[in-house]
Amino acid sequence: MKHFLRLTDYTKADIYEIFHITDEILEGHYQNLLQGKSVVLFFPESSIRTRVTFEKGIALLGGQPILFPSSALDKKEDLQDVIGYLNNWANLLVVRHRDMAALEKIAASASVPVINALTDANHPCEMAADLYALSKIRNDFTMDHFLFCGVTGNIGLAWKEASEVMGFSLEQCCIPGYEMNGVPSHHCIRDAIRGKDIICTDSLPADLLSASRGCTVDLAAMKLANEGAILNPCPPFYRGEEVSNDVIDSDYFVGYEFKKHLLTVQQAIGHMTGRDRALEPMIRRFMENWLDFTRPIEEGVQTVKSCLAHGKRVFVLSNYQKESFATVESRFDFFGLFEGKVVSAREGLLKPNADIYEFLTNTYRVEPSRTLFIDDTPANIEGAMYVGWQGFCFNRPGKLAAFVGD
């Protein structure tokens, strides 16, 4: 178990491991990771994106989100005692609170992982999601030149944390007197933006708007950045203040696309914080040698051959990692027996969602009522039956042979 309070509590390799887990979640792994578990969240009413993605992400992994306002942590009762009771029932705590010291006290008292969903000092979940998004569109974002436009605050400090962990260069554009310690600064956007690849912003305090006009990112300024530069403003952003209307409506803007990754990256963070760190070397060895432990289920292979002998059409429908499936497909000859293969990572679809079953139905023109789906997970069987297929749960030796017969 390890809390997620700051990016600087983790190594560069750890951040890449979060990216890897995110990819695995998108490919169908960890479907029931939080089954039977409760996640207690503390969020203010004003939170939209982070709260929605945490609540939905927990539910998608089978967990139960239990929500309280952040103000519940500001009562007279000592935080040590609040968390002492929650340790009895919660499996994970997600806290959005202005005071970093409060999160540190919560973490010190918690026997379950604590995830920082934003403080006045940083915003590590959003940073991890933005870095993951960058990894998908840049050859190596750690070689890019970053510019943060805004006064010192939680978003700027979060980008500073990210630069320290990942090793990329970061500079700041702001009015004098609001610079971050240790970060090269500029006071004019047209000077600051030259030679930059990734432009990030934060909203401005109302009393600094007028003085900050020279740091506004507009379309003319973006054209001075490096070729292929992108604009990633932190939401909520305000058109006509830290960013102009024309730049948000341009191809430089990537904000909406970047934030779609927030849900899955937060799921990955939840998984990583809950892992038993003592078991990680063993898990790593297994992942490096997983193919040595992979064997065909002979009962299943014989069933496929029996179905073919009786003139039945047989297909693969699997939640599987793209590269891993290609490996087992090339290693085991029986994959050549199937008429077609629908793999979650290849199609961007996932059991037990209806669309993956419908994809096979439409692609191979099968009749739903005459289609039998065999799987070892009841939820996947239910998904198949929802679209009109028949289903059979194969979860112990001999059960499939007894069902299919000769």
- Position 297 scores a pLDDT of 85
Q: What's the CATH code, domain 128-257? A: 3.40.50.1370
Q: What's the CATH code, domain 7-124+261-279? A: 3.40.50.1370
Question: Sign of dihedral through CA atoms 215, 217, 220, 226?
Answer: positive
Look up tokens 């037990």; give the residue: 352
- Position 286 scores a pLDDT of 67
**What is the Cβ-side half-sphere exposure of residue 340, based on CA atoms within 13 angstroms?**
11
- Position 124 scores a pLDDT of 98
The domain limits of the chain are 7-124+261-279, 128-257, 296-404
CA dist., res. 89 & res. 271, Å (int): 18
CA dist., res. 207 & res. 195, Å (int): 30
Instruction: Please report, for residues 92, 338, 388, 400, 404, the alpha-carbon distance to residue 374 in angstroms, rounded to integers and kept in the order given.
Output: 34, 14, 14, 9, 11
Block mean pLDDT (10 aa), the chain, length 406: 95 92 88 92 94 95 96 96 97 97 97 97 97 95 98 98 98 98 97 98 96 97 98 97 98 95 96 74 68 82 91 93 85 94 87 92 96 91 94 81 67
What are residue 216's phi and psi, to 5 degrees?
Answer: -65, 135
Which residues, in sequence order, are bridge partners of residue 95?
42, 116
- Position 283 scores a pLDDT of 62
- Position 104 scores a pLDDT of 97
In this structure, which topology does domain 296-404 adopt according to CATH? Rossmann fold (3.40.50)
